[in-house]
Amino acid sequence: MSASLDKVTQTLKEVIDAPIASYFDSCVHCGLCAEACLFYTETGDPKYTPIHKVEPLRRVYEQEYTLLGRLMKMVGLSKPITDEELGEWQELVYDSCTLCGRCSMVCPVGNDIVYMVRKFREGMAVSGHVPDGIRGATKRTVEIGGPMGLKWPAVANVLRKAEEATGVTIPVDKEGADYLVLLSSMEIVNYPEYIEALAKIFHKAGISFTLASDAFEATNAGIQIGASDLAKVIVTRIVDAAERLKVKYVLSPECGHAYMAIRWEGPNLIGRPFGFKVVHVLELLDQLRQEGVLKMKGMFKDPLILHDPCQIVRRGGVLQAPEALIRQVAENYIPIADQQKWNWCCGGGGGASAIHTEEAEALRAKAFGVKKRQIEEAGVGTMVTFCANCRITIEEALDHYEMNTKLLGLTELLAEHLED
């Protein structure tokens, strides 16, 4: 056994727990999870069946933690996992799984398959069989501060421009503020309007907030690649900043997996509960709406549909806010059949959008078929979402299919129609 393979089993032995054992022992190979996976429904290739994506993990579980599996391994009836095998599985674990969690919703025996994939990624990460794109993003986040290699001066520059555009001061490293605002590099680079919108809304609501110059980045590639130790390094920066600035709340940006990383994984990564609350921006906005602070002027007229990002809604639990907010601003909001926790993934979550191999991109385009149908069936020209990563993925796909669907961010849409 090579050193790295040894490390893989060692890591998997650490992460395999009672739920995983129960899940593997419950699976009856009914194949229903495939019907919930867009990579299967759009390609028809059975290898994309979710439970198959964790097959090596099952073998390790059986060989390490079940008596029969140990015996079978001893007499050679059960073969240990190999490096080549893990290499084969890289595509299944990263390229064709966005951790969207739809399979976990349909499994009749109740298996949380995406939970298993996350754990399996821990082993994959140390095996080195990880996509270059996600590896690079992780590296940049750990070494430089963000997945795109963005440094503070560049961010400060964007903030200054936002201040100019809105006429609202954006405090930095201000102790005692209510909210510590996190951003994602994607927003800073591609959608600076988000920052402007947020500044306007905070100003309007009279809520104090701040940014931290050493912890502006919310995204956590360590979570996506499956390296908890690195994810911990990344999330610790935010926790340190929040505690230093003594904020009450940390505001997660629209970005889906950033919310997952800070809200749900964060305390588990650092090994203690947070002394502050983590709030998703839509949760805050919905609260302001309910308080009557979020008043709109003029409604958005074009018919539109909503794309619910998996990590915020299905896996994040922000279930009601998005629809309530869109109804606040859109006159012709059309609910789609599979919405909210049943929505279909854009195809780029879980780090997939960072993989830029030809095959991965082709697969992603194919997987977008389900979203394409949703847009076409609704017959709308506009789609609204609230995740920077979804936006990137969808925009790429819209280009690919030469669709002229307009894609908007929910926070910006709200900000645009905010009563002055």
Partner 1 sequence: MQGPLIDTLARQGVTRRTFLKYCATLASMMALPPSAGRAMAEAMAAARRPSVIWLPFQECTGCTESITRSHSPTLEGMIFDMISLDYQVTIMAAAGHQAEEALRNAMLENDGKYLLVVDGSIPMGDPGYGTHGGHSFVDHLQQAAKGAAAIIAVGTCASYGGIPKANPNPTGAVSVSDIIKDKPIVNIPGCPPIPVVMTGVLAHYLTFGSLPELDAKGRPKAFFGETIHDRCYRRPFYDQGKFAKTFDDEGARRGWCLFELGCKGPVTYNACATVKWNGGTSWPVESGHGCLGCSEPDFWDAGGFYKALSVPADPLKLAAAAAVVGAGAGVAVSFANRAKKGAAKKAHQPITLADLEK
Partner 2 sequence: MNDLQFLTWVRGTGLDIAVGIFLLGVLWRLIEIYTLGRKKDLAAPRHAAGASGLHTVFRRSLPPPGMLKRSPVSYIGGYIFHIGLAVIVFLGAPHILLITNLTGLSWPGLPTQFIDLVTVVTMAAMVVMLVDRINKPVKRFLSTFEDWFTWAVTFLPVLTGWLAVQHLLLPYTTMLALHILSAEILLVVLPFTKLFHAFTLFGSRWYNGSANARKGVPV
Binding site for partner 1 (CB under 8 A): 4, 7, 10-11, 13-14, 16, 64-67, 125-130, 135, 138-139, 142-143, 225, 227-230
- Is residue 416 exposed (0-12), middle (13-18) or buried (19+ Cβ within 10 Å)? middle
Given candidates 75, 153, 206, 272, which one binds partner 2 under the rule CB under 8 A? 272
> Per CB under 8 A, does 73 bind partner 2?
no
Return the sign of the alpha-carbon dihedral for residues 126, 128, 134, 137: positive
Using CB under 8 A, which of the segments 74-82, 148-156, 182-190, 333-341 binds partner 2? 333-341
Paired sense of beta strands 209-210 and 179-181, if any: parallel
Nearer to partner 2, 51 or 304 (CB): 51
Q: Least distance in Å: CB of 70 to partner 1?
A: 9
Spatial contact of 261 and 219, defined as CB atoms under 8 Å apart: yes
Nearer to partner 1, 57 or 130 (CB): 130
Given candidates 5, 81, 92, 107, which one binds partner 2 under the rule CB under 8 A? 107
The Cβ of residue 338 has, within 10 Å, a number of other Cβ atoms equal to 12
Nearer to partner 1, 230 or 313 (CB): 230
Task: Write a three-state SS string for 25-73.
Answer: HHCCCCCHHHHCCHHHHHHCCHHHCHHHHHHHHHHHHHHHHCHHHHHHH
> Per CB under 8 A, does 30 bind partner 2?
yes
User: For residues 155 and 146, what is the distance between their CA atoms, to the nearest angstrom?
Assistant: 11
> Per CB under 8 A, does 115 bind partner 2?
yes
> Per CB under 8 A, does 401 bind partner 2?
no
Nearer to partner 1, 125 or 284 (CB): 125
**How far are the Cα atoms of 97, 112, 142 from residue 101, in angstroms, in the given order?**
9, 8, 27
Is residue 383 helix, strand or coil?
Answer: strand
Nearer to partner 1, 128 or 171 (CB): 128
User: For residues 58 and 117, what is the distance between their CA atoms, to the nearest angstrom?
Assistant: 11
**Number of residues binding to partner 2, judged by CB under 8 A:** 60
Q: Least distance in Å: CB of 229 to partner 1?
A: 4
Q: Helices marked H in 206-249 — which ranges?
A: 221-225, 228-244
Amino acid identity of residue 382, one-letter, is T
Using CB under 8 A, which of the segments 22-30, 179-187, 191-199, 240-248 binds partner 2? 22-30
Q: Which two tokens stand for residue 189?
A: 């680079």
Q: Least distance in Å: CB of 26 to partner 2?
A: 4
> Per CB under 8 A, does 19 bind partner 2?
yes
> From the list partner 1, partner 2, none, which binds 14 (C-beta under 5 to 8 Å, kind-based)?
partner 1
Q: Least distance in Å: CB of 278 to partner 2?
A: 8
Smallest Cα–Cα separation from 82: which of 40, 127, 142?
127
List of residues 6+ apart from 173 with CB closer than 8 A: 210, 211, 212, 213, 245
Q: Least distance in Å: CB of 25 to partner 1?
A: 13
Q: Which two tokens stand for residue 19?
A: 């739920």
> From the list partner 1, partner 2, none, which binds 144 (C-beta under 5 to 8 Å, kind-based)?
none
DSSP class of residue 340? G
Q: Which chain residues interact with partner 2 by CB under 8 A? A: 16-23, 25-32, 34-36, 40, 44, 46-47, 49, 51-52, 65-68, 104-112, 115, 263-268, 271-274, 277, 314-317, 319, 337-338, 341-342
